[in-house]
Structure 1
Amino acid sequence: MITTYIKNTNWYRVLLMFAGNVFLSMGVAIFKLSSLGNDPFNGMVMGLSDCLGMAYANFLVIINLLIFVVEIIFGRHLIGWGTIVNAFINGYMATFFYNTFSAAIPASQMWQRVLCVLIGVVVCSFGLSMYQGSDVGVAPYDALSLIMNKRLHIPYFWCRMSNDVVCALICFFSGGIVGLGTIVCAFGLGPVIHFFDDYFTNKILQKPIFAQR
């Protein structure tokens, strides 16, 4: 079964997904550099990892493993290469980019921090467009809303919103940062992702090499 799956994999789509996750990790790092908040899920992980004295990337793997169990039980069809990369590699890539950027990019003044938020939106959206558009697996946290939508018959929007609100609250009460970056992620990512879908990702996916899924 595994051999057949590997044989039938479109590695061009996997490459597109991996590139998307690289940009997504870069965007997470830029948001963190702003000190104005991250997306609700990563903000929650950062807040809890600081409380527990654990490295962000290591704690992210633990959280993803827990949610991955739910995905295996209720959403096995959503699992693919994108699941593995997003769940178990992104945290380490984000840490690498943050360490690199924090040593080279000043972000002490408010205008610099706001600029980081704006750049983070663009970079994250570009990465998410490629990662989601490649259609080779869904990250555990993203899968959670899809599973709730299918099992509970609740519109996807409300499933995602409720999960994000819970994460934001946990982030806040664990001492994490809920701020401009969090708000921009909640309301700004969607339109920018749609822009990159229309003008980049969908055009790339129309090429014959990406036809097989």
Structure 2
Amino acid sequence: MYQLSRIIMAFCGVILCGFCVGMLQKANLGVDPFTCFVTGIANIFSSTYSTFYLILTGVLLILVFILKRHYIGVATVINLFFTGVAADAMHHLLDLMLSHPSLVMRGTLMAVAIVFTCLAAALYFTADLGVSAYDAIALIAAYQYRLLPFKYCRMITDGLCVLVGFLFNVTLGVGTIITTLFMGPLTQWFRTHLAEPMLTHRQGAVA
């Protein structure tokens, strides 16, 4: 039952993260670095985010499997197949509900999406069932090959993703800056005060 609770937590975190990506895309005030990258590549081929999320994450997943398969788990597979679909579904729903949102509404969508992205990440990481293929790249560079400390490896991968997005007409804005600066601390707050107590309580109930 404890393992099932972790799987459910990971699944909820991944789906919520996908919904938040769709909200950030609709807000059009800047998205997180990896979303910049995927959206930029999708723009090249006039395709959907979910299609290229699956393709690009799949390619990275093969690379991670070759270099350090330790980082691959149930949550990695869930992330591969459901994040992009959830993002496109939320974006489509918001297109139907808010065809021309005001700046205030866009700002509200951005703020809500960032907060819930951090909650989603807290659930996902606390479940400890693997990481996304993109997260694994910086981890491998830092801890497997010791190229640079993790924070610098992550800055480099994020910077390259933002550059690709910028080159292919992805909006960079305040949302990109906020996710870069505040996701870490807010995610940790949700882990400490919500996700970890939930899992601990569940483990105690099962025991």
Band the TM-score falls in, shorter-chain normalisation: over 0.9
- 2:196 is matched with which residue: 172, 179, 202? 202
Distance 2:9 2:165 in 1: 31
Who is 2:11 aligned against?
A: 18
| Greater CA drift, 99-108 or 80-89 | 99-108
- AA partner of residue 18 (structure 1): F
* Equivalence map 1:1-213=2 (5 Å): 10-105=3-98, 108-153=101-146, 154-209=148-203
Query: Using the alignment, how far apart are the partners of 1:81 and 1:9 within structure 2?
Result: 15
Contact 1:37–1:177 at 8 Å: present in 2 too? yes
Say whether the 8 Å CA contact 2:2–2:203 is kept in structure 1.
no
> Percent identity between the aligned chains?
25
**TM-score, scaled relative to structure 1:** 0.90
- Structure 2 unmatched runs, 5+: none
* Deviation sequence 1:84-110 (CA, Å, 0-9, x none): 011222101111111112222466322
TM-score with structure 2 setting the length:
0.93
Q: Is the 8 A contact 2:2 2:202 kept in 1?
A: no
Using the alignment, how far apart are the partners of 2:54 and 2:95 within structure 1?
Answer: 23
Report if aligned partners of 1:20, 1:130 keep a CA contact under 8 Å in 2: yes
Shift of 1:209: 3.0
The aligned counterpart of 1:3 is: none
One-letter identity of the residue aligned with 1:203: P
Distance 1:11 1:139 in 2: 19
Q: Distance in 1 between matches of 2:188 and 2:36?
A: 23
Deviation of 1:141 (Å): 0.2
List per-residue Cα deviations over 1:37-80 (Å, max 9, x = no partner).
21011111112201211221111111011111111011211111
Counterpart secondary structure, 1:206: helix
Distance 2:99 2:184 in 1: 28
Amino acid at match of 2:134: Y
User: What is the number of residues matched between the two proteins?
Assistant: 205
Secondary structure at the residue paired with 1:95? helix
